[in-house]
Amino acid sequence: MATATKRQKPLHLAKLHVHKGDTVLILSGKDRGKSGTVIRAMPRENKVIVEGLNIAKKHVKAGRGVMQGGIIEKSMPIHASNVMVKCTECGEPTRIAHERAPLGTDQKVRTQRVCKHCGKPIQEHTRG
């Protein structure tokens, strides 16, 4: 029986509209309508993990790495097309536009994400 292998995007094509630290609204699935913070973005798989949402129960056997076995709850990945970014300014779920503007102290032209509703830039969250 042949098994299907997961195809990953090449690294230079892997881009998401959602970044780590963004507040997002879930559009489909069992958690539809709920919002949370992205704790991990996986651009090559086109998926994101949202804190406290899309929880699955995993049965863990006791072993060397895990002292005690049992059932743990784990946040599972959601496809990036099923989440919508909430604007940091107006607080509404919105689509994302990209604008090129001179930013920073060196005034180098960079892209920034912009809310389609209010037109204001979406604040980037510090990574770390």
Residue 104 has pLDDT above 90, yes or no: no
**Among 44, 48, 40, which residue's Cα sits nearest to residue 10?**
44
| More confident site: 104 or 50 | 50
Per-residue tokens: 29: 């699935």
Phi, psi of 63 (to 5 degrees): -165, -155
Residue 128 has pLDDT above 60, yes or no: no
| pLDDT single digits (tens) 32-65 | 999 999 999 999 889 999 999 999 999 988 888 7
Give the pLDDT score at 15. Answer: 83
Kindly report the average pLDDT of the chain as a whole number.
Answer: 87
CATH numbers and ranges of domains, the chain: 11-94 (2.30.30.30)
Residue 124 has pLDDT above 70, yes or no: yes
Task: Give CA–CA dist 123/114, Å, rounded.
Answer: 9
**Among 89, 92, 109, which residue's Cα sits nearest to residue 101?**
109
